[in-house]
Amino acid sequence: MIKLLWIAFLASVAVRMLAGRWPWELVGGGARSPSASSEGEQRARNLLGVAAAASREEIIDAHRRLIARVHPDRGGTAEAVHEANAARDILLGRLGERSSR
């Protein structure tokens, strides 16, 4: 049994080194399709109200305006703040990916 676990561990590490992802990220729900990530990006853009070609400054300004509306101190919820932060992170991450290409 120990040998089997050791082999599974080594195989997982080998897949991670070769593919850049863990084996469970390559199959099933762990693997994200391009359409799923673009849907998430579109939802983030809709939430923040920015265009597809928005700059870093525009994204940050839109995030600040949204936080000012949904912050718990102003009658909003912590969940809305988390959604706004996630939307900002998604869009800024995509912006970084485009600039590194």
Q: What is the pLDDT of residues 27-78, one digit of tens each?
A: 755 445 556 568 889 999 999 999 999 999 999 999 999 999 999 999 999 9
What is the C-alpha to C-alpha distance for residues 93 and 15, in angstroms, rounded to an integer? 25
Which residues have a Cβ under 8 Å from the Cβ of 44 and sit 6 or more positions away? 86, 87, 88, 90, 91
Q: 58 lies in which domain range?
A: 33-101
Of the ranges 17-21, 47-51, 82-86, which one carries the lowest mean pLDDT score? 17-21
Verify that 72 and 53 share a domain, yes or no: yes
Verify that 17 and 57 share a domain, yes or no: no
Q: Whole-model pTM above 0.75? A: no
Verify that 100 and 59 share a domain, yes or no: yes
Verify that 37 and 25 share a domain, yes or no: no
